[in-house]
Amino acid sequence: MDTLPPAVSGDAAAPLTAAQLRELYSLMVAVRHLDTSAVAWQRQGLIPGYAPELGQEAAQVGSGYAVDTTRDFVFPTYREMGVARTMGVDMVAYMSTHKATWHGGLYDPLESRLAPIQAVVAGSVLHAVGWAHGQTLAAATGDGKLGVALTYFGDGASSQGDVHEAMNFAAVMKAPVVFFVQNNGWAISVPTERQVAGGSVAARAAGYGIPALQIDGDDVVAVVEATRRAFAHARAGNGPVLIEAMTYRRGPHSTSDDPGRYRSLDEERDGAGEDPIERFRKRLLADGIADEAFFAGALAAAKGEEEEIRAGIQALGPRPGTEMFDLVFQETTPALQAQAANWREESEHV
C-alpha cells in the first residue's frame, strides 16, 4: 500500500551512500547487542524490567535515521531504544528508566529531541500531535522552520481511542506528524489478525484522509526511504502521514512475558522470517559495500559500547525524592516549601 505522493527532489529522493549504508549496519548491530544485553541485565538483577525489540532493529534504526534533530521531535513508547540510540541519545541516561532510577529517562528531551519514554499505550501519539500543531502555529507567524513530529505505536495500540483522536485532529489541522506503526505481529499475546479489524493499520488512514505507506519493516533501506518521504510531505505543509512497518517481535513483549504460552517455536520461526541484520549483511556483501573485516569491527564496537553502558548503569545512584518539588511544581506553596525543607533535612540524617 502506497498512497503518498512521490518525493521528486531533495534529500527525500537522494539514494543512500555507501558510507551511510555501513553506518546503518553498525547502528543495527549496536542496537541488537544492547537489546539482548538489556534482557540479560534484567535476569541478573541489574534492571527490574525491559521491553525487548529483537527483530525490529531495521524499523527503529531506519526511521530514527531520517530524523533531523535540529528541528524535528520524536515521541517514543517504552520500546524505542533503537530509535534513541540512532539519534545519539546517551544510553545510560536512557536506560535509567528501565533501572527505575528516573521516570522517562535522565536525558534532556529538548537537547536530544526525544520526548520522555511513554509507558501509557498510545499516549505518545497525542503528545506528538499537540507538538506538531504548535509547529504549524509557529510557522504561520513566521517564527522558525517547520519541524515534524515522529510518533511510534504498535498494532495493538492502534486499537486505542487515543489513536483515533490523534489522527483525526492531525488530519483536520494538517499537523506535520508522522505516525509510525511497528506492526510486529503481536498485541502482547494476541496476534494482529485477532485485534486489528481488516488486518491493516495503514488502510485505516484513508478514513482520515491521511496518505499511508505499508512497508517492509525488516528492510532498513526501505524504512529510511519511506520515512524521509513522509517527513518531506509533512514538512511541506501537507499534513500527516501514516507508515505501517511490517516486522516481527522475535522475543517476549517484556521481560515479564512468556511468549511460549501463546505461540510455538515453529510459529515464531515461520512468522519472523529472515533476520533483518543478516539480510542487510548479505546485501552489503553482494554489493561490495562492506567486507568481513568491517562486520567484525562493527560487532567489536558494539561489545565495547555495551560494556561502557553497563558500567554506567551500575554507577547510577538513587534519585533524591526532593526533586519532585523542583520539577513538578512551577511555583511551590509555603506548605510545600516547608515539606521539602523537612524532607531534605530528614534525608541528610538517613
Q: Which residues are catalytic?
A: 249, 253, 262
Q: Phi and psi dihedrals of 178, rounded to 5?
A: -110, 120
Q: Give dist(CA 84, CA 60) in Å, integer.
A: 9
**Taking the C-alpha atoms of 104, 42, 251 and 113 in order, what is their torsion angle to the nearest 10 degrees?**
20
Q: What are the beta bridge partners of residue 2?
A: 213
Q: Phi and psi dihedrals of 190, rounded to 5?
A: -110, 125
DSSP assignment string, 212-251: EEEEETT-HHHHHHHHHHHHHHIIIII--EEEEEE----S
**SS3 assignment, position 132:** helix
Terminal CA-CA length for the chain: 61
Cβ atoms of 217 and 58 within 8 Å: the answer is yes
Q: Give dist(CA 150, CA 238) in Å, integer.
A: 15
